[in-house]
Amino acid sequence: MSAEAPAKLTHNEEIKAAIPTLAGTIAATFNQPANDHFSDDDNQFLKFHGSYQQDDRDLRKTGKKYIMMIRGRIPGGIMTAKQYGVFDSLATQYGNNTLRITTRQSIQFHGVVMAGLQPLVKKINECLLSTLAACGDVNRNVMAPVTPAYTKAREQVYADAHKVAMALAPQTKAYHSIWIDGVQLDNDAAENKNFVDPLYGQTYLPRKFKIAFAIPPVNDMDLFTNCLGFIAVVENDQLIGYNLCVGGGMGRSHGNNATYARLADVIGFFTPDKIVEVAKAVLTIHRDFGDRTDRKHARLKYVVAERGIPFIQAEVNKRAGLTLAPNAPYTFTTTSDLLGWRKAVDGSWFCGLFVSMGRVKDAGGYKMKTGLRHVADAFQKVEFRLTANQNIILANVSEEDKHPINMLLAAYGVKTENQTTVLHAASMACPSLPTCGLGLAESERALPGMVERLAKVLAEVGLPNEEIIIRSTGCPNGCARPYMAEIAFVGKAPGRYQVWLGGDVSGTRLNKVWKDVIKEPELENEFRPVFTRFAKERHAGERFGDWCQRVFLKEQTAATN
């Protein structure tokens, strides 16, 4: 009997091998004024450069209007006031006049047409930030805590995150050639055809790779949803090391049980001096063992789940040149941001600003985009810090600048205290329609209204100020980390959502499917009986997600068995 033929590589693997510089024909395409979109292959290469080709789905009935989404790479989510001002100007000049804070501490531009793509990316680089590896089969934006209220060790953790981000950046010269010089590389030249990235190799990773740092007890990064996580171990404000977490990920597909959300495993402790070696070790495990024949099965979480923790530990030890120690004790208690004015550990002030759905915009009397731009222009020492909950922190504020910043923001309708309800503050959504090509249902545009409707039902049952973590995505890929929420709406079709219940406030537990489909108009009728029971049956102080796991979801499981 002949041996079974090896599985065929995906098309993405073939084009990466053919053009390992990732140049495609991107520059040649945008240098032709008549072109309004890229080829399918170039669309895949574009992702490595930080951009997705999309179209405005609201306009499809009258014809396709191609638009680009561009995402910055902003390690740890920290920007200077000048850099933020540059991003604000670019959104006005080339985008749809909004800035979208992502769930990975970055900023996305939406609605950019082809003619604006190269100048926008070039100006991001000129302000000393980048878009390289913000998307694509490489390490994405590295996340790290930005709230300066808890420990001085945060500065060292951020420094380590930045170090990892730089060490894991791809080295292709195509990025500079395309976006800075506007020049198309010759893909047939020997040096380009035979290019091999010193870390990633010739075909990079099988899929995307995500890294986050967190400092207990605050899990504001949703650390366990990442391929690679570092839990800082801090004693007396000194960083003594990290617990290593591997194998998390949110992406799944409807109707495909071989795909699933998974939380990372904590597999050992190491000292900070080995941070880059450990990061490279885990990334190269994904590079060498990830599935290159099925992109739905290509994430590191499947390698960890199928090969087991002992295998991963042994590979990390070998590749990083160390021996992982037993896990250090840690406890997470919250995933929330601090809103309003607070004292930082260094004595300065910072202000957490709620940004609904992460969309910085001007709308009616609420002109957050304009207000923040004026802050950036007038207070150059202020840092703009992006949170994983899609909010903004204004940090490094002096005592004398607090009042002027308050007055400036108030002039544009932006509050610094009592900014929103607890239910809205705990909500998060992906953009979905009209820009994302994967969206099956509304998300960003629908969730605020859905939250308001749920708030009214909670008030009806005597819980008017109850905090519940609510998240929405337009498809099952999980960009807003829905499978960690106490209530999650995952789009299945226009106006129809799969509903998941039972996540926890510490970001350490996955939720479970409650209903495969509910119709959006039936939202109140679906949740009223559940909230009524919760109000009557909860233990003192018990959260909705915990009650669901303790009582409601167990009943649902028993009823279906």
Q: Is 61 a residue of the active site? A: no
Query: What CA–CA distance (Å, rounded) separates 293 from 227?
Result: 19
Query: What CA–CA distance (Å, rounded) separates 243 from 220?
Result: 16
429 and 534 part of one domain:
yes
Query: Left, alpha or beta for 45 (phi > 0: left; psi -120 to 50: alpha)?
Result: alpha
For the whole model, what pTM was predicted?
0.97
Q: Is 548 a residue of the active site? A: no
The pLDDT of 63-79, averaged and rounded, is 96
pLDDT the model gives residue 4: 66
316 and 213 part of one domain:
yes
Query: Which residue intervals of 507-552 are DSSP H helices?
Result: 523-537, 544-547
Does residue 412 contact residue 371 with C-beta atoms inside 8 Å?
yes
Judge whether 511 lies within some domain: yes
Q: What's the pLDDT band for 58 if we cut at 50, 70, 90?
A: very high
Residue at which a domain ends, from 365, 397, 420: 420
315 and 217 part of one domain:
yes
pLDDT the model gives residue 3: 58
Judge whether 234 lies within some domain: yes
Domain count, the chain: 3
The pLDDT of 551-555, averaged and rounded, is 92
- What is the largest distance, in Å, between two alpha-carbon atoms of the chain? 82
247 and 307 part of one domain:
yes
pLDDT tens profile 378-413: 999 999 999 999 999 999 999 999 999 999 999 999
434 and 550 part of one domain:
yes
Judge whether 85 lies within some domain: no
Query: What CA–CA distance (Å, rounded) separates 194 from 557?
Result: 55
Residue at which a domain ends, from 284, 318, 335: 335
Annotated catalytic residue within 73, 100, 140, 301: 140
Query: What CA–CA distance (Å, rounded) separates 145 from 222?
Result: 11
Counting beta carbons within 10 angstroms of the beta carbon of residue 326, is it exposed (0 to 12), middle (13 to 18) or buried (19 or more)?
A: exposed
452 and 410 part of one domain:
no
The pLDDT of 239-264, averaged and rounded, is 98
Q: Is 471 a residue of the active site? A: no
Judge whether 351 lies within some domain: yes
- C-beta contacts of 400-408 below 8 A and 24+ residues apart: 401/349, 402/341, 402/349, 402/351, 404/378, 404/379, 405/351, 405/375, 405/379, 408/371, 408/374, 408/375, 408/378
Q: Is 47 a residue of the active site? A: no
487 and 511 part of one domain:
yes
Instruction: Using the structure block, give the residue that is written with the tokens 């100020």.
Output: 465
Q: What percent of the chain has pLDDT over 90?
A: 97
Q: What's the pLDDT band for 1 if we cut at 50, 70, 90?
A: very low
Annotated catalytic residue within 127, 135, 351, 479: 479
pLDDT tens profile 199-220: 999 999 999 999 999 999 999 9
Does residue 264 contact residue 196 with C-beta atoms inside 8 Å?
no
Q: What is the CATH number of the domain that holds 474?
A: 3.30.413.10
Structure tokens at 92: 């006005």
pLDDT tens profile 266-317: 999 999 999 999 999 999 999 999 999 999 999 999 999 999 999 999 999 9
Q: Is 479 a residue of the active site? A: yes
The DSSP letter of residue 549 is I
CB atoms within 10 A of CB 379: 18
Round the average pLDDT of the chain to a whole number and report it. 97
Residue 2 has pLDDT above 60, yes or no: no
Annotated catalytic residue within 100, 104, 210, 262: 210
Query: What CA–CA distance (Å, rounded) separates 544 from 209?
Result: 32
Annotated catalytic residue within 154, 208, 361, 373: 208
Q: Is 227 a residue of the active site? A: no
Counting beta carbons within 10 angstroms of the beta carbon of residue 255, is it exposed (0 to 12), middle (13 to 18) or buried (19 or more)?
A: exposed
Q: What's the pLDDT band for 62 if we cut at 50, 70, 90?
A: confident
279 and 249 part of one domain:
yes
pLDDT tens profile 331-384: 999 999 999 999 999 999 999 999 999 999 999 999 999 999 999 999 999 999
Annotated catalytic residue within 367, 475, 481, 548: 475
E strand or H helix that includes residue 154: helix 154-167
Reported as half-sphere exposure (CB side, CA atoms, 13 A), residue 211 has a value of: 36
Residue 414 has pLDDT above 90, yes or no: yes
Judge whether 6 lies within some domain: no
E strand or H helix that includes residue 52: strand 51-55
Q: What is the CATH number of the domain that holds 404?
A: 3.90.480.10
Structure tokens at 458: 């909670």
Judge whether 545 lies within some domain: yes
- C-beta contacts of 337-341 below 8 A and 24+ residues apart: 337/147, 337/220, 337/387, 337/389, 337/391, 337/393, 337/425, 338/147, 338/149, 339/391, 339/419, 339/425, 340/416, 340/417, 340/419, 341/402, 341/416, 341/417
Residue at which a domain ends, from 420, 441, 474: 420
The pLDDT of 421-435, averaged and rounded, is 98
Annotated catalytic residue within 135, 227, 351, 430: 430
Q: Considering only residues 111 and 2, tell me which one the structure prediction assigns the higher pLDDT.
A: 111
Annotated catalytic residue within 47, 71, 492, 509: 71
pLDDT tens profile 144-197: 999 999 999 999 999 999 999 999 999 999 999 999 999 999 999 999 999 999
Query: What CA–CA distance (Å, rounded) separates 411 from 464?
Result: 30
Judge whether 368 lies within some domain: yes
Give the structural domain span for 410: 340-420
Annotated catalytic residue within 154, 436, 492, 548: 436
pLDDT tens profile 436-462: 999 999 999 999 999 999 999 999 999
Instruction: Kindly write down the DSSP assignment for every residue of 72-111, as one continuous string.
Output: -B-GGGEEEHHHHHHHHHHHHHHSSS-EEE-TTS-EEEEE
